[in-house]
Amino acid sequence: MKAINIKEKFSKFSKNWHPHQVAIVDDMQVILAKLKGEFVWHSHDNEDELFQVIKGTLYMQFRASSDEADSEGGIKTEVVNEGEFIVVPKGVEHNPTTKNNEEVHVLLFEKLNTAHTGNIQHERTQTEYPKI
């Protein structure tokens, strides 16, 4: 039982899209990640995900119905500012992105068995999260 300094933990890694585990709470894990650019469209069939923005602005894209879609055609984008969080429900296809070459720092809260990119295998898919 020790306080965890999030800024100090972020200083321990530099790679984008490579999550690092900082804590476990029951069957959930607390993850830190640095994001830059566009990730990969994916979903998690059985797990929700919580993304809290620690630094920067996250643009969470979702596949949308025709009445929800923005000008990108079939995509709805939710802007998540520093100090805010968003919950992505299980089964919802999503794609976290950043803009203007900004590096965004996020804290994620998800089940231990959550696959990084769901059923999608991609060059950015990580199978193990280093513990820091």
pTM of the model: 0.88
Closest CA to 103 of 125, 82, 130: 82
Q: What is the token pair recorded at 88? A: 């992505």
Residues 82-132 have pLDDT tens digits of: 999 999 999 999 999 999 999 999 999 999 988 777 777 777 767 788 899
Residues 21-74 have pLDDT tens digits of: 999 999 999 999 999 999 999 999 999 999 999 999 999 999 866 565 555 668
Domain ranges of the chain: 6-111
CATH of 6-111, one of 2.60.120.10, 1.20.1240.10, 3.40.50.2300, 3.20.20.70: 2.60.120.10
Angle ∠(43,62,49) on CA atoms, nearest 5: 45
44 three-class SS: coil
Closest CA to 96 of 124, 119, 70: 124
β-bridge pairing 85-88 and 49-55: antiparallel
Query: Do 54 and 95 form a contact (C-beta atoms < 8 A)?
Result: no
